[in-house]
Chains A and B, each alone.
Chain A
C-alpha cells in the first residue's frame, strides 16, 4: 500500500481497506529490508504507532525524516560521529507541523555528514547504496530519504538542500525532489550547515504529493525569523492550471551538446533526453527558448558555493566540541579533549572544508575569496532574476547523466568540475523554488529534469512540473534493481 500516492493511501484508510497500524507495520518491515539492502537509515522507530485518520491527507500515514532534523526523544545525529548519541529535547517545526496533522515518523534517514557532501558516502553509518544499482551512489546529501522513497518504504521523506541535496538524489533515484522558496518552510530545528543557503524540502514519487506535504509543513514560524507568511499560497490547488503560453528558458552553455566536444555516449543520451522532454512539454503550448549566460559566471558557480558554504559551516559548527553534547574526548586537557572529539568525529571531507572555510574568512583573505564569492552570487542571482522578468521558469537537465559509480565522484572540486553537475546551486544562491522530476532512463537507470522559478512563485513551478510529469510514464515509479 505504501507504494501508492498519498491520496490513494488516504482513500484506502477512509474506506477501511487498511488501518494506520497496518501501514506502520508495513513501513517498519520495509525499513528493515531497505536498511539491510541499501543502508538507508540511522534509526528505525520500532515503537511507532498507528494514529487516528482525519480529513488531513497525511494523517495515519508513515514518513521518514532526514537525520539532521531535530526530533524530540529520537536520536538525531546528522550522520556524524560527533553527535552519535545526541537526543534532542525539541522537534523541528516542519516535523511538528506534520505530527500535528497526524503523520507518523517511522525512521531517520542517513545522509552525508551534516549535509556537507553530494555522494551519500560520508554518513557515519556507511554509504547509502542506490536502489536501482547497488554499485552506484544515490548522490547526497539526502541519500537515505531518496533511497527510501524510491524503494517504496513510504510516500515521502523530508530532506534538506544547501546546494542540490534534495534535487540531485531525487534524479539519481528516479523520484521527485522539491525545495520551496527560501523561508517558506521554517528551518527551526534543522541542523544548520550554511544558513544563507539551507532549505528544507521533501522527496516524493509524484509532484502532487510534494505539493500536499509542503502545504502541510509550511507557515511562518516565530522561531525562524527568515520564515514568511505563505498563507496565500496553495500548492496543490494550482497543480492543474493551464500552462499554455507559459515561457521557460534553458541555459545553452549548460544544456546544448555542442558545448561538450568530447561528450560521452551517456552525456549525449542525457542531453538528448532533455531536449526530447522539452519537445514533449511544447505540445502543451509551453514556449521554451535557449538563453546564453556569461560562461565566466557559470564556471564560478562551484567555487562560489564551496567558499560561501564552507565559511558559514566553519562558524555554524564551532559549537561541536563534545563538551555540552556529543561524545567527549578522553584527553584530560580541555583543548586536547575538543581536538580529539573533532579529529576523530568529523569525516575527512568536513575537516578539509572547515580549513578552507576558515582560510577564506581570515581578514587578509576575505576580500579576495569570501566577498568576491558573495559578489558573484549576486551577479548570478541578478542575471537569473532579470530572465525571470521575461520567463516563467528555468528548465535544465540534472547532473551529467544517471547515478555515478562510487569511485566516480569524490566530492572534490577540480578544474574539470562541470557546470552541468553544479548548476542547481543557483536555486540556493537566490532562494528560488526548484523541483526535480524523473524524465527517463539511460542504461536502465533514471535521470531527471529540473524546473526553477522566481521567488514566491512556487505554485507556478509545481504547476509546470505537474503538467510535464503528466506527459511521461514515470509518476509514482518504484526502484527496480538493475542487474549489470
Chain B
C-alpha cells in the first residue's frame, strides 16, 4: 500500500476542485495517519474480510418506491432563482469547451 503523501493530497484536492494551503495539507496527512493506524488494527480482526459491508443504517429494510408516474415539475422561475446568471428561461453557464 503506497503511503499517502503530500503530493497525493494535492493531487486529490485538485481532482476535487479545491485548493489546500500547506497547513491544510499537513492536517490531512496527520489525521489520515491516525485513521490508517486504526484501520491497520481492523485488518487484524480474524475473518474481517468475510463480513458483509454495512452500507446503510437499516440494511434489512424494504424501501417503498413511488409509482413511476409523471408528476408536475417545479416552475422554471423557481429553478432559476438561485443561479448567479440567467438568460431568459435558462441558466447562463461559462464556456465549457475551449
Interface 0/1 of A82-96, CB less than 8 Å to B: 000111011000000
Asked whether A333 lies within 8 Å of B84 as measured between CB atoms, the reply is: no
Given A358-B15, A412-B30, CB of A372 within 8 Å of CB of B48? yes
Asked whether A182 lies within 8 Å of B28 as measured between CB atoms, the reply is: no
Q: Bound complex: CA of A415 vs CA of B30, how far in Å?
A: 10
Q: Which of A90, A302, A371 has the most CB of B within 10 A?
A: A371
> Closest CB of chain B to A72's CB: distance in Å?
9
Q: Which residue of B lies closest to A362 (CB)?
A: B12
User: In which size bucket is the chain B interface?
Assistant: 35 or more
User: Which residues of A from 322 to 351 have beta carbons under 8 Å from B?
Assistant: 322-328, 332-335, 337-339, 342-343, 346, 348, 351
User: With a CB–CB cut-off of 8 A, which chain B residues contact A431?
Assistant: 57-58
Q: Bound complex: CA of A197 vs CA of B34, how far in Å?
A: 22
Given contacts A334-B93, A413-B34, 8 further A-B contacts (CB under 8 A): A89-B78, A296-B41, A296-B44, A303-B42, A325-B82, A371-B53, A375-B51, A414-B34
Q: Bound complex: CA of A381 vs CA of B20, how far in Å?
A: 36
User: With a CB–CB cut-off of 8 A, which chain A residues contact B8?
Assistant: 359
Interface 0/1 of A346-389, CB less than 8 Å to B: 10100110111011000000001101111111110100000000
Asked whether A375 lies within 8 Å of B94 as measured between CB atoms, the reply is: no
Interface 0/1 of A66-90, CB less than 8 Å to B: 0000000000000000000111011
Q: Is B37 an interface residue (CB 8 A)?
A: yes
Asked whether A379 lies within 8 Å of B82 as measured between CB atoms, the reply is: no
> Closest CB of chain B to A356's CB: distance in Å?
6
Asked whether A89 lies within 8 Å of B81 as measured between CB atoms, the reply is: yes
Q: Is A43 an interface residue (CB 8 A)?
A: no
> Closest CB of chain A to B25's CB: distance in Å?
8
Asked whether A358 lies within 8 Å of B16 as measured between CB atoms, the reply is: yes
Q: Bound complex: CA of A90 vs CA of B74, how far in Å?
A: 10
Given A332-B94, A339-B17, CB of A455 within 8 Å of CB of B43? no
> Can you give 20 contacting A-B residue pairs, CB < 8 Å?
A89-B78, A183-B57, A302-B38, A322-B84, A325-B82, A328-B84, A334-B94, A339-B17, A351-B18, A352-B24, A352-B31, A359-B4, A369-B39, A372-B43, A373-B39, A376-B48, A377-B53, A378-B51, A413-B34, A429-B54
Asked whether A228 lies within 8 Å of B61 as measured between CB atoms, the reply is: yes
User: Which residues of B from 4 to 20 have beta carbons under 8 Å from A?
Assistant: 4, 8-9, 12-13, 15-20
Asked whether A225 lies within 8 Å of B65 as measured between CB atoms, the reply is: yes
Asked whether B35 lies within 8 Å of A356 as measured between CB atoms, the reply is: yes
B-side binding surface: helix, strand, loop or mixed? loop
User: With a CB–CB cut-off of 8 A, which chain B residues contact A125?
Assistant: none
Q: Is A428 an interface residue (CB 8 A)?
A: yes
User: In which size bucket is the chain A interface?
Assistant: 35 or more
User: With a CB–CB cut-off of 8 A, which chain B residues contact A327?
Assistant: 84
> Closest CB of chain A to B17's CB: distance in Å?
4
Asked whether A379 lies within 8 Å of B45 as measured between CB atoms, the reply is: yes
Which one of B35, B57, B65 contacts A197 once the chains associate, using CB atoms below 8 Å?
B57
User: With a CB–CB cut-off of 8 A, which chain A residues contact B41?
Assistant: 296, 299-300
> Closest CB of chain B to A62's CB: distance in Å?
27
Q: Bound complex: CA of A431 vs CA of B48, how far in Å?
A: 22
> Closest CB of chain B to A335's CB: distance in Å?
7
Asked whether A412 lies within 8 Å of B42 as measured between CB atoms, the reply is: no
Asked whether A414 lies within 8 Å of B31 as measured between CB atoms, the reply is: yes
Q: Which residue of A lies closest to B15 (CB)?
A: A358
User: With a CB–CB cut-off of 8 A, which chain A residues contact B70?
Assistant: none
Asked whether B83 lies within 8 Å of A324 as measured between CB atoms, the reply is: yes
